[in-house]
């Protein structure tokens, strides 16, 4: 699961450190979306609600839960029309290492994947409409790979190293952008990595008809 704040720390680094509070923090799709967004920037529940298309009351509630669990922190308040608007940033990344991920119930893992996939599809679709794939080095590919258990694990390690390297590249780019003092604007890019077991192949049409005839 991606993250982008250099100051944020992985939620769980080992089997011994898995905190059930963190599972609770990310087990709800709105909390997951809020934490992902606050890893990218400082924002208020009102701003997040508008971005996510969710009721303000729901987003405010789940933001308070994340703050109580120590996943985000309050950084500022702004007086707006007689009310205080609270602005937060993430202090933990929405990320689990393999050891911690294995301990999370399958239902929770599916919920987290659903949220990531929803965002990936929507971001890619919006980018395509806006010319986000027009750059000569933009990349989109589909590769079907049949492997054994060892090969599956090796592919998972490879993708994990790519994600980690992407964060390192982002940190290095941030330093260069800071030196440019805004002369060269940041390129807002998205990197989606997927590895999954494909659904079983459907039986060949001819073979299926043959079985039906024999049963008849």
CATH number at residue 22: 1.10.10.10
Query: ∠178-183-185 over CA atoms, to 5°?
Result: 75
Pairing of strands 83-90, 72-80: antiparallel
In this predicted structure, what is the pLDDT of residue 174? 84
The verdict on 118 and 163 lying in the same domain is no
Stated as kind and residue range, the H or E segment containing 62 is helix 56-68
DSSP states along 102-132: TTS-HHHHHHHHHHHHHHHHHHHHHHHHTTT
- Angstrom distance (rounded) from CA 2 to CA 190: 10
In this predicted structure, what is the pLDDT of residue 18? 55
The verdict on 98 and 173 lying in the same domain is no
Q: Is the pTM of this model over 0.85?
A: no
The mean per-residue pLDDT over the stretch 104-112 comes to 79
The mean per-residue pLDDT over the stretch 81-108 comes to 80
- Angstrom distance (rounded) from CA 128 to CA 126: 5
Measured CA to CA in angstroms, residue 203 lies from 15, 86, 124, 162 at distances of 41, 56, 32, 36
The verdict on 29 and 118 lying in the same domain is yes
Is 77 a domain residue?
yes
The mean per-residue pLDDT over the stretch 106-133 comes to 86
The verdict on 105 and 131 lying in the same domain is yes
Is 82 a domain residue?
yes
The verdict on 99 and 190 lying in the same domain is no
In this predicted structure, what is the pLDDT of residue 215? 36
For residue range 45-68, list pLDDT tens digits in order.
Answer: 999 999 889 999 999 999 999 999
């Amino acid at each position: 699961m991606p993250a982008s704040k250099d100051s944020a720390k992985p939620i769980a680094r080992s089997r011994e450190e898995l905190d059930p509070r963190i599972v609770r923090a990310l087990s709800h799709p709105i909390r997951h979306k809020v934490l992902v967004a606050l890893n990218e920037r400082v924002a208020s529940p009102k701003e997040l609600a508008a971005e996510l298309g969710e009721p303000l009351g729901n987003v405010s509630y789940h933001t308070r839960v994340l703050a109580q669990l120590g996943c985000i922190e309050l950084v500022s308040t702004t007086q707006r029309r007689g009310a205080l608007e609270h602005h937060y940033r993430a202090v933990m990344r929405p990320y689990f290492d393999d050891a911690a991920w294995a301990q999370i119930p399958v239902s929770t893992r599916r919920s987290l994947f659903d949220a990531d996939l929803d965002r990936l599809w929507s971001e890619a679709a919006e980018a395509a409409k806006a010319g986000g794939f027009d750059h000569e080095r933009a990349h989109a590919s589909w590769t079907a790979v049949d492997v054994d258990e060892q090969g599956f694990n090796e592919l998972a390690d490879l993708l994990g190293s790519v994600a980690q390297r992407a964060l390192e590249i982002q940190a290095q780019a941030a330093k260069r952008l800071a030196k440019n003092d805004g002369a060269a604007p940041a390129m807002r890019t998205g990197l989606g990595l997927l590895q999954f077991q494909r659904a079983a192949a459907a039986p060949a049409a001819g073979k299926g008809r043959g079985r039906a005839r024999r049963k008849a």
